[in-house]
Amino acid sequence: MKFSRSFAVGALLASATASADDHVQVDDDTFAVDSKGGLAVDTGLLVASPAALPSGMSTGLVAGITRSCGCHFAYGVRASWSTITESSLVWTVDQTDFRLRATGSIRHDAGRGSIALRLGLGPTFVHEVRTRNQSMEAGTDLTTRAWGTVPAGDLDAMFSLHVAGPWLAVASGGPSLDHFGGAFVLGWSASLGVAWQP
């Protein structure tokens, strides 16, 4: 009697396990890396110091295309948009930065991840809307708009990790240098996003 009861329990557990195995949605291949192509497209969130303001944090979006040479070197292009609003007793300033960079990087792959040191050079186009908070003269235009171009460069440490299939998580950050007002201004930038590597 005891033997038949144990046999029945064992058969029931084996049947339940087999049934569960038939419906498994996560297996050994779910997070397999099935792509290590030379082309990668990424996008993400950006935070950076503004190009033409002495303080504050500009936030926006960044995207890029990178091509690997099949060695430890890669090159590409990047573009970003970010905006910031600062105010004082007299002025409210809305500044938008459009960054364009040609990039070159030295990288090292290790398992599912890679680390790279990336240098980017190119212009930053700055659009500024400056509004006077108050004026003593009636009919005075309180808003002025201006465009400017700032030569700039970025040096980023970049980390990427294959998550599943062709998809990667990427993060980067480092110092930036803008030539503004006849002087070099040291800033910073950082981004967090995803990449697709077919």
How many Å apart are CA 37 and CA 21, to the nearest integer? 33
| pLDDT given at position 132 | 85
| pLDDT given at position 137 | 57
| pLDDT given at position 8 | 53
Determine what percent of the chain is predicted with pLDDT higher than 70.
78
Biggest CA-to-CA distance, the chain: 104
Average pLDDT along the chain = 84
Q: Which amino acid is at 1?
A: M
* 5 is a domain residue: no
Q: Which residues contact 4 (CB under 8 A, 6 or more apart)?
A: none
The residue count of the chain comes to 198
Element (H, E) at 9: helix 2-22
| pLDDT given at position 47 | 98
* 9 is a domain residue: no
| DSSP per-residue codes, 26-49 | --TTTT------SEEEEEEEEEE-
- Asked whether residue 20 carries a pLDDT value surpassing 50, the answer given is no
| pLDDT given at position 172 | 98
pLDDT digits (tens, 9 = 90+) for 1-19: 444 555 554 555 555 555 4
* 105 is a domain residue: yes
Where is average pLDDT lowest: 25-34, 102-111, 141-150? 25-34
Residue 108's pLDDT band, with cuts at 50, 70 and 90, is: very high
Q: Which tokens is 96 given? A: 């938008």
| pLDDT given at position 80 | 98
Map residue 86 onto helix, strand or coil.
strand
How many Å apart are CA 99 and CA 177, to the nearest integer? 12
How far, rounded to the nearest angstrom, does the alpha carbon of residue 17 sit from its chain's CA centroid?
A: 43
- Kindly report the CATH number assigned to the domain that includes residue 88: 2.40.160.20
How many Å apart are CA 123 and CA 142, to the nearest integer? 29
Q: Give the count of beta carbons closer than 10 Å to the beta carbon of residue 142.
A: 13
> Which residue segment(s) compose the domain that 184 sits in?
34-196
Determine what percent of the chain is predicted with pLDDT higher than 90.
59
pLDDT digits (tens, 9 = 90+) for 72-102: 899 999 999 999 999 888 888 999 999 999 9
How many Å apart are CA 64 and CA 46, to the nearest integer? 12
* 28 is a domain residue: no
- 59 and 83 in contact (C-beta within 8 Å)? yes
- Asked whether residue 191 carries a pLDDT value surpassing 80, the answer given is yes
How many Å apart are CA 112 and CA 74, to the nearest integer? 18
How many Å apart are CA 78 and CA 87, to the nearest integer? 30
Task: Please state the rounded mean pLDDT for residues 127-151.
Answer: 80
> What is the count of structural domains for the chain?
1
- 195 and 165 in contact (C-beta within 8 Å)? no
Q: Which amino acid is at 120?
A: G
Task: Please state the rounded mean pLDDT for residues 172-193.
Answer: 94
Which among 42, 27, 175 has a CA at the least distance from the CA of 114?
42
| pLDDT given at position 167 | 94
| pLDDT given at position 12 | 52
* 8 is a domain residue: no
Task: Please state the rounded mean pLDDT for residues 19-39.
Answer: 57
* 7 is a domain residue: no
